[in-house]
Amino acid sequence: MSLINLFLAPGLIALIISTLTTIGVIKLYTRLGWVDDPLTNKHVKVTHKYPTPRGGGIPIYLALLVAGCLFLGLDKHFLGILTGATILAIVGVLDDIHDLSPYVRLITGALASLAVVAAGIGIAYITNPFVPGTVLHLNQPQLIFNFLGGTHTIWVIADIFALIWILWTQNIVNWSKGVDGQMPGFIAIAAIFIGILSLRFVGDTSEWQVARLAAITAGAYLGFLPFNFYPQRIMPGYGGGSLGGFLLAVLAILSGAKVAALILILGIPMLDAAYTVLRRLLRGKSPVWGDRGHLHHRLLDLGWTKPQIALLYWSITAIFGILALYFNSRQKLYTIIATALIFGGVLLWLKFLQINFNHKRS
């Protein structure tokens, strides 16, 4: 299997489809008036300054659909992935037009995750970071039942873990799309590194599909990126954001339970989301309602430009991706803990700087 057929061709096809359909979506949404106008959308999290369409989920989904059918085939796993992606794409379009409640998005995101788990994609084990060469099995207890003439098995812990993992990653990625070009860039980088990790086992034909899906994900977001980078002509919207997290979460599972690797690669979005949830809960607020407390908001308020913030996210994702290629499970765990502590300190420092900055302006 040549590298071109395995990785480059699927990525290139996805990139072309994403590029062409993004142009069409911009024209369609603009003509129909489906734009996010900051003059009418007064939410504090809004960072754009002019009416912009939010239809990014459509080109990403179409790139996945076409390239996936061409290079992955319609086996039960891809059908489960496609079902989940279809749910997120439809909800994304509805959200582009009607601004759905975050609770509706959360419930439908859970349904999309469930479609993947129902197709047999679960986390049967995770690497034990404290005992090298061992794993922690999650395949017990099991529920066995007959349905439609067949015997089915539910791995209770493994399936619940996979469901929460996919839903969580959907949301943390979706939360890190606040400035132009920020999210498509780090998703493409993360997908490339997951693909590289899977290519280490290129002799295992089951990993070929993972490499192809990683290439399709990277290509889809790279095709969308030029239109989203500053000054953006289109935003990812909920569809583009949730699909990115959904695909990366599934890739981490399929590539051999590389959950720790993806947590490390997405270290900044992961930690930003974790601190955001904690901050909102401590203030007695719902964790799903948006505010202006994300890292990109803090940097904007301190005078950073949108391209600078996007490049920061890309750079850190690439650095953590390189570390993920060489670190063992214990090293990844220690790096995640150290990064969490450093990130917490940075947030406190940024808050201090913002207070002083606002004081001087007043």
- Using CA atoms, how far apart are residues 250 and 170, in angstroms rounded to an integer? 10
Alpha helices in 266-328 (DSSP H): 267-282, 295-301, 306-326
Q: Average pLDDT of the chain?
A: 89
| Helix ranges restricted to H, 123-282 | 156-175, 182-199, 205-228, 237-254, 259-265, 267-282
Do strands 125-127 and 135-137 pair parallel, antiparallel, or not at all (unpaired)?
Answer: antiparallel
pLDDT one-digit tens code per residue, 106-118: 999 999 999 999 9
pLDDT digits (tens, 9 = 90+) for 144-156: 777 666 666 778 8
Residue type, 295: L
pTM attached to this predicted model: 0.93
At how many degrees (to 10) do helices 57-71 and 205-228 cross? 150
Q: How far is CA 36 from CA 18, 30, 106, 134, 233, in A?
A: 21, 10, 21, 50, 11
pLDDT at 293: 87
Q: Indicate the domain borders of the chain.
A: 3-361
Name residue 351's amino acid: K
Q: What is the mean pLDDT of residues 291-319?
A: 94
Looking up tokens 């994304």 gives 92
Q: What phi and psi values does residue 169 have, to the nearest 5 degrees?
A: -65, -35
Give the C-alpha separation, 45 to 186, whole Å. 20
**Range scoring the smallest mean pLDDT among 53-62, 135-144, 174-183, 198-207:** 198-207
Residues 181-185 have a mean pLDDT of 97
> pLDDT (tens digit, 9 = 90+) per residue, 9-35?
999 999 999 999 999 999 999 999 999
Nearest Cα neighbor of 277 from 144, 188, 175, 153 is 175
Residue 349 confidence (pLDDT): 84
Task: Please tell me the distance from the alpha carbon of residue 233 to that of residue 32, in angstroms, as a whole number.
Answer: 15
pLDDT at 292: 87
| pLDDT level of residue 203 (50, 70, 90 thresholds) | very low
Task: Calculate mean pLDDT across residues 74-97.
Answer: 96
Residue 232 DSSP code: P
Locate 294 and state its tokens: 């994300």
The structure tokens listed for 334 are 């220690």
Whether 355 shows a pLDDT value over 80: the answer reads no
Higher-confidence position of 42 and 84:
84
- For residue 145, the cross-strand partners are 152
* Sign of the alpha-carbon dihedral angle for 236, 87, 188, 129: positive
Coil, strand or helix at 137: strand
For residue 102, is pLDDT > 60?
A: yes
Give dist(CA 273, CA 244) in Å, integer: 15
